[in-house]
Structure 1
């Protein structure tokens, strides 16, 4: 299953960035250098300041905003599949730490046709918000969507949050101190209604993903929210936190538009995958799927001689789901197609440190965030 960044999203961002920054920072050589530098500062050199503010903004807009935009499509798809998108129209979206508008742009591209949106984008970077405003307006016009974006220059850790239907945070929690992360999430939960959702998306790095798992557990323990996705386990603690080397993240196949794909090739970044960790919280409980024995697949398939395994997570814990080759049967063949992010409904109970899938085991594979037009089962 491949997720596609629409060409018109890239075009809208590029036009907005060019209008804001001019041509010089967008020249290929300068832009690729800035993209590589920004990538390092997202990962191994997080405390180092940008050497060139205009070049850094160009990299964020022209590459990372486009490449990251469709991450929001997975949680939005899961909410829509479950009939859990808020009913109010226009849909009020808080984009917290909006930057150049990746999450807002992705929402416009991913929401069901005809859904009007009112976006309040909050960030301390006025220049990035200017690009977001222009890009959202252009993308909405190209897709025939009624969308407005109001930009607010403010610190999300302290800004007053108005009532909203969805609150989205794209790659911002990892920039906050530990106490502030939970505080922002709790304030976002207070801003949404009972049918609303808070969506947090973070880098797929071990430390940033584990910090998101910790926020998940803190919210569940406080009773102020309920986890909707990615977990089929609505309990704390997150099993991935038991081992310091474990963390959960997504790795979805991604098709980039032509110009962004060329930048990815030149910089050796974003190698065809959309990697991130995410969390969807609601004020009212709702399970991702209606099945008690539902396992989220949290690894790539692990074929080996004579067996096939995936790592699963459920209310029963985090453990391998294993089927020996001699036990392959019509009732369990959905395991053959299982991918990271799928949900497997299995009628077998754990035995020790794994679930053994026999010839009698029945498996149903669900893809709750399938792109439009793809089978969801």
Structure 2
């Protein structure tokens, strides 16, 4: 289960001026959050809101920092966990990261926390972030908050990583003039949906120009149908430009969720919800009992997560679970995805056996292995002889 480190609440209280133990003050934050959620989730309001520099408003900024930064902070840990299986973080002396669309620093701070929780990779490494955002006020506020964040972090972890941050105004029209270097890791979170569709090819060109040959690109978007499908569409464009999908997909073909108008793909991860988030949820009507989001990890080499956790390239016997497990009278079923496409997987209760009993416990976005299953056109049938094995949980850990 993912959990916010204890120092983070102290950091939030200091930079926001809000007592996170005060129901009265949290009620005010919740009212801001409720209004923002309405704009984020309603299709007819969302486009106008996200293309407006909403974080330049002081009250909106405070609500976003306390609530949305907290609920987004740990999402980057899942793709970073998955990348770590490749050995990518081992043996480096310098590590450079480009964060596109930094906002108030959610992904930068989340990545720094992950590095400290995986300090074995970063003990003697110089880490540099280049943080880009189109709004000057965001960059300014991020710099102010970051100093407090790093001070609180140093008091929490016995060993700290050497970190340098270079912030810059992000203008996608002139982004190629901003730097002439390439990065080990590029992160783009909650940003694609704020880039006009006609400008997304420029974003792809920037990513393509900025990533090292052996680097990784992490993209995260909200689990809403429209934002998830936008990410999947961008995923397919990346493949056409020579990228390979490392995770979550167990295929390098087009995304099968886009073959219909009704499907999309996202994960759902348990977390220990902080008490102040629970209090805000009660007033705002939101329920962040779990973390839902869509993500892709891409690279310029033909390597896939399954190569490392299975020890071989196998897109036929390993599957990503892309729905919740649905329990009905006489059967359990879900949707799986791999080289075969998006498949409806069914296990009748009368097919229960010791070999397949773990199927009854699978969760969305886990990777499972199936042996001796029956495959029809768009369907997988679990038989008493089918062996089911979990190989990766939805936090990206074996």
Do Structure 1 and Structure 2 share a fold, with TM-score over 0.5? yes
**SS of structure 2 residue aligned to 1:83:** coil
**SS of structure 1 residue aligned to 2:96:** strand
Cα distance change of structure 1 residues 157 and 336 upon mapping to structure 2, 3 Å threshold: farther
From 324, 327, 334, the equivalent of 1:300 is: 324
| Shift in Å, 1:327 | 1.4
Query: Which residue of structure 2 aligns with residue 23 of structure 1?
Result: none
From 94, 119, 125, the equivalent of 1:113 is: 119
| Shift in Å, 1:193 | 1.6
For 2:37 and 2:345, locate their aligned partners in 1 and report how far apart those are by CA, in whole Å.
35
| Shift in Å, 1:43 | 1.9
From 89, 93, 98, the equivalent of 1:94 is: 98
Cα distance change of structure 1 residues 182 and 281 upon mapping to structure 2, 3 Å threshold: farther
From 235, 244, 247, the equivalent of 1:226 is: 244
Query: Which residue of structure 2 aligns with residue 343 of structure 1?
Result: 367
Matched, 1:175 2:194: yes
Please say if residues 269 and 395 of structure 2, whose CA atoms lie closer than 8 Å, have aligned partners that are also in contact.
Answer: no
Residue ranges of structure 2 left out of the alignment (5+ in a row): 19-23, 308-313
**SS of structure 2 residue aligned to 1:341:** coil
Query: Which residue of structure 1 aligns with residue 87 of structure 2?
Result: 83
Matched, 1:352 2:377: yes
Question: How high is the TM-score relative to the length of structure 1?
Answer: 0.89
Cα distance change of structure 1 residues 4 and 86 upon mapping to structure 2, 3 Å threshold: same
Question: What do the CA deviations read for 1:60-91 (whole angstroms, capped 9, x no partner)?
Answer: 11111111011101100111123234753342
Cα distance change of structure 1 residues 13 and 168 upon mapping to structure 2, 3 Å threshold: farther
For 2:280 and 2:299, locate their aligned partners in 1 and report how far apart those are by CA, in whole Å.
37
From 137, 154, 158, the equivalent of 2:174 is: 158
Matched, 1:66 2:77: no
Alignment map for 1:186-265 (pairs within 5 Å): 186-223=205-242, 225-236=243-254, 238-265=255-282
Please say if residues 98 and 186 of structure 2, whose CA atoms lie closer than 8 Å, have aligned partners that are also in contact.
Answer: yes
From 9, 26, 29, the equivalent of 1:28 is: 26
Please say if residues 213 and 241 of structure 1, whose CA atoms lie closer than 8 Å, have aligned partners that are also in contact.
Answer: yes
Please say if residues 329 and 359 of structure 1, whose CA atoms lie closer than 8 Å, have aligned partners that are also in contact.
Answer: yes
For 2:56 and 2:129, locate their aligned partners in 1 and report how far apart those are by CA, in whole Å.
29
Please say if residues 269 and 394 of structure 2, whose CA atoms lie closer than 8 Å, have aligned partners that are also in contact.
Answer: no
Matched, 1:138 2:154: no
Matched, 1:314 2:338: yes
Please say if residues 101 and 131 of structure 1, whose CA atoms lie closer than 8 Å, have aligned partners that are also in contact.
Answer: no
For 2:368 and 2:209, locate their aligned partners in 1 and report how far apart those are by CA, in whole Å.
33
Query: Which residue of structure 2 aligns with residue 40 of structure 1?
Result: 38
Query: Which residue of structure 2 aligns with residue 4 of structure 1?
Result: 3
Question: How high is the TM-score relative to the length of structure 2?
Answer: 0.85
117-126 or 85-94: which moved more? 85-94
Residue ranges of structure 1 left out of the alignment (5+ in a row): 20-25
Question: What do the CA deviations read for 1:181-232 (whole angstroms, capped 9, x no partner)?
Answer: 2331332232122221111111111111111111111111232x11111111
Please say if residues 325 and 362 of structure 2, whose CA atoms lie closer than 8 Å, have aligned partners that are also in contact.
Answer: yes
What is the aligned residue count? 364
Please say if residues 232 and 315 of structure 1, whose CA atoms lie closer than 8 Å, have aligned partners that are also in contact.
Answer: yes
| Shift in Å, 1:52 | 8.3
| Shift in Å, 1:350 | 2.1
Please say if residues 56 and 138 of structure 2, whose CA atoms lie closer than 8 Å, have aligned partners that are also in contact.
Answer: no
Please say if residues 123 and 152 of structure 1, whose CA atoms lie closer than 8 Å, have aligned partners that are also in contact.
Answer: yes
For 2:386 and 2:111, locate their aligned partners in 1 and report how far apart those are by CA, in whole Å.
39
For 1:187 and 1:198, locate their aligned partners in 2 and report how far apart those are by CA, in whole Å.
12
